[in-house]
Each structure stands twice: as C-alpha cells, then as structure tokens.
Amino acid sequence: MAPGIDPWTPRLLTNNKVPPEMLSIASIMASPSVHAIEPSQLLHYLPTYRVLICLRCNYAIQPGAVARHLKEIHHLHHLSRRPFVDYASGFKLSQPSDVVLPDGTQFPVPLLPVQNGLACSFAGCAHLCVTAKRMKQHWMSVHHISSSDLGGFWDPVPLQTFFRGNALRYFTNPALLISSSSDKSGGLTNTTSTTPVSSDNRESSPYQTLITSDAGLLDHYRNYTYKTLSCGPETDDVFRIIVPQLAHQFPFLLHGILSCSSLHLASIDPQNRPYYTIRSIQHADQAAPAFRWATINVDSNNSQAVLAFAFFLVVYALGSESNDQPLFLSKDNSQEDAPSLEWIEILRNGCSMLCPVWTELTTSPLAPFTALWRDDLGVPTNPNDPLLITLLSIIPEYRSELTGYYIYRDSAVKLAQAFAFIERCGSPPTIWDVLNSWPMRVSPEYLALLKHNDPGALLLLAHYAILLQPLREEWFLKGRAMELIDEIAQRLKGNCSPQIWEVFSVMQREHFPSDPI
C-alpha cells in the first residue's frame, strides 16, 4: 500500500474519463428520507373480485395469509410487515372458493398473467388445465377414455388464476366457451355446462383487443405499467400524470413510455408477445437519437424530460428480450466499448449531464424523481461488516497491481454500503434503490475492469446480484439475476484464484441454489 493513502476513502483515480464531480449526481442531492415501498405499491385490491393482488408475484394472496406471504416470499421482518398487514385488513376479501370469476367482457383480469392453456371439449365438461399430459389424465379418470383413443379432444384457451398453491383454479374467457346441453354431461359434476367453441375463433388475443394504437399503449401505461415503476405515493402522480403530460412536448419521452408499455404487455400477454416485443423495439429505436441529442444539450427546457426518460431506459434495458446480453456484462469482452454496459453508462452520463440543472429539478414537478437518485446513502462504512471482510479477503490477488487494488477496494466498500442501505430500508427495495445504491456509484475504472472480465470485478458483481433477488418477480427482471450468476460462474471457472472461486461458490450456494425449493 502506498504510504499516506487511506484505503477506506474512495480514490479518485487520475484517468477518470468523467470529471469527478460528475461521477455521481449524489453530491447535489440531499433527500434524507428513506423511501420504502408503500403497502399500496405492493398490494393492489380488485374490488370486483374482492381479491388482493401482490404486484410482485402477480397473484392474489389468500385472506389471512398476507403476513405469511410477506414473510416467506418477500422476507419482510416482523416490524416491516405491520403496515402491509394493516393495509390489507382494510379490504373485504373473498375466500378463494367464493371469488366470482370474470365474465366475457372482464377477461382477462388485469395484473394477472395469461397462460396458454387447454379446455376439455367433452360436452358439458370445460375442464381447464395447462398441459396435454394433465388433460390426458383428466380424460382417463373422468371420461374413461384412454390416451391412445385421444385425438385433439381439447382446445387451446388463454387461462388465468387468482391464486396459486392449493387454491389454484384456472378460468378462461367464458365467451370462448359456448353452452351445450347439460344432459350430455351424464354423471359429471354440474360445474360449467359449456364446451369450447370451434377453434377458428381461438386465434384472437386473450386480451379483449390487441392494442395496436399508440393511444392504447399510453392508456395501458397510465392504467397499469406506471404502477409497476412507481415506488410510493410521492412518485405515483409523477409517473402517471406529469410524465405523460411532458411527453406531449418531447416525442423521445413519449416513445420511451410506449416502448415500456409494449414491453409490459409482452410480458403479460404471451399470445401476442412477438407483436408487442417488436412494437417495443420500434419505439425504443425512435426514442434513441433524440434522447442522445438531448443529453448533450441539456438545459432548463428539456431537463425534466431527460430525467424522466432515464427510468424508461432502465426498464427497457432490463426487460427487453431482444437484449440477449447478461445484465452488466458484455458478450464479447474483446471490444473496448462493449455495448451491454451502454445503458448503465448512458444512465450515469445522462445523470452527470443533468448536474448543472439539478437544483432546478429538485424544485420542479419531477422533484420526487430526483430524490430517488440521491448521493448520500447515509450509511457509514463498517470495517467489521462480515460481507466486507469476505470481499477484502481476496485482496492479496491485487498486491502486485496497485491501481486494481484501489478500484476493487473502493467498489467493495461501496457494495457493503449498498447492502447496509438496502437492509435499512426494511421494505422490499425498489429497482431504483438497487441501481442507485451501487452501479451508479462505482468508478468508471471498476466498469472497465468488469469489461475485461477481471475476476475480482466479477466477484463483486455476483454479490451485487443478491440485491436484485428480492426483485426477481418484477416483470422486467424475471430470471435476469440467475442468468447473470450463471454467466459469471462460466467466466470465473478456471480463470480465477481458488480463493475467489471459493468465495463465489459459497455465495452461489447460499443465494442462488440451482434447485430452489
């Protein structure tokens, strides 16, 4: 270690490409409040059905099971659960067996995913399930027809369910099923006396109409998507009202909104996923040039639109299936400017560009957004933090190379702070907390190490993925953290010291078991 250099102080290295004052926007922001998720951001009541939907899990929680759900699925501590349980107790909830299913005009129920399923076509049966194997079992046990005699005695239908587990009960659009004589049902239970209509009509979307207009996409955003991005009452109105208003003046922002709305639809309407995915890419492509131009010409006029666009950029980068790169990693590390990190760099640079107008933004209608990117996490570095001790234990790797040593150490300290910050939030973190707590704060030198597959840099990123885990059910993040860990494992294997491999493997076993129960 060079004399006089305090390893605990983040170093500003000499080859910074971005001026240090622009490294993060944090120094300019000072919002002391810890924004945690409000109960209304996690739990959404559907009065028509008297069910409470968990917006992270996309299914309804059984009455009386809210506390257990929060504990077992979202790992909320006892005290943090209290406000959610209180909030839930304010709603009248139906027992799963009493929930009235949607009629033909109500299907699909918003917020619930739509699955490709099958409806039994035996007259009067209308049994629903999701696999041909299950349907064959159904025919054997109920209609006493063996699978060898079977040939398409079922029809494809879109399915939803309010509940999972023992209360799982599929339903479809009743308009896809037509009444038939109940006499034919013989000894069968008199559930629904219906049979599917001919398969000609089955090509239609499970959503009443495929949303083909920009106005329709904007409506979907204002009704549903905004809620999945917002993180509390303070940002609800900004996402839902102010941002769309701003988008009238700034077409790149409108395209950003429409791109995310399409991507959201692609995630909940599998039948039309290809269509919505393409729409999403088209809107993202239309937004990009004007947004780039705006970021290098930021002024009081366009600063709010630039700030707002950053949120849609992130969601698009995370959720786009066209992005086959693992999060934060590039496929081809030989390229100096590998594209996969582009979004995080655009975000970092975009925020830096806003520096001159930041104070103005903190008093603008978008002030709640500026609070999400605050600099000071307000958590001191604890040198006895077990995570930090573990991460620093591999530091002998860097003895020979001083620059790498400081970059690694600085990033590890910041990562430990990010963990402390997220833990202090108590409630499930938002994606904005998780991004602001670390990727926005590491040095450009760290990102450069990452691009070159530096084992220490990869080890830190793997630990960062733990913070993404509570968000794994968000529609724009499904499967991404696990995918990242698999990719890091591949890159580290055989290319790092035994110590690094050991620390990585322990972390992987604990947080990313390959066979989650």
The residues that touch Zn ion, with contacts defined as CB under 5 A, are 54, 56-57, 73, 120, 122, 125, 127
Neighbours of 250 (CB within 10 A): 21
Beta carbon nearer to Zn ion, 57 or 175: 57
Closest approach of Cβ 140 to Zn ion, in Å? 11
Beta carbon nearer to Zn ion, 185 or 277: 185
Q: 441 with 26: CB under 8 angstroms?
A: yes
Closest approach of Cβ 162 to Zn ion, in Å? 13
Which two tokens mark 354?
């806003």
Q: How far, in Å, CA of 212 to CA of 55, rounded?
A: 25
Beta carbon nearer to Zn ion, 57 or 288: 57
Helix axes 444-451, 455-468, angle to 10 degrees: 110
Give the DSSP letter string of 456-481.
HHHHHHHHHHHHHGGGTTSTTTTTHH
Closest approach of Cβ 80 to Zn ion, in Å? 14
Q: How far, in Å, CA of 192 to CA of 206, rounded?
A: 20
Q: 458 with 488: CB under 8 angstroms?
A: yes
Q: 153 with 189: CB under 8 angstroms?
A: no
Closest approach of Cβ 514 to Zn ion, in Å? 23
Closest approach of Cβ 127 to Zn ion, in Å? 4
Beta carbon nearer to Zn ion, 26 or 73: 73
Beta carbon nearer to Zn ion, 120 or 211: 120
Q: 128 with 157: CB under 8 angstroms?
A: yes
Q: Is the dihedral of CA 53, 373, 461, 292 positive or negative?
A: positive
Beta carbon nearer to Zn ion, 125 or 305: 125
Q: How far, in Å, CA of 501 to CA of 492, rounded?
A: 7
Cis preceding linkage at 270, omega within 30: no
| Total count of residues recorded for the chain | 517
Beta carbon nearer to Zn ion, 73 or 167: 73
Closest approach of Cβ 161 to Zn ion, in Å? 15
Q: 25 with 357: CB under 8 angstroms?
A: no
Closest approach of Cβ 235 to Zn ion, in Å? 20
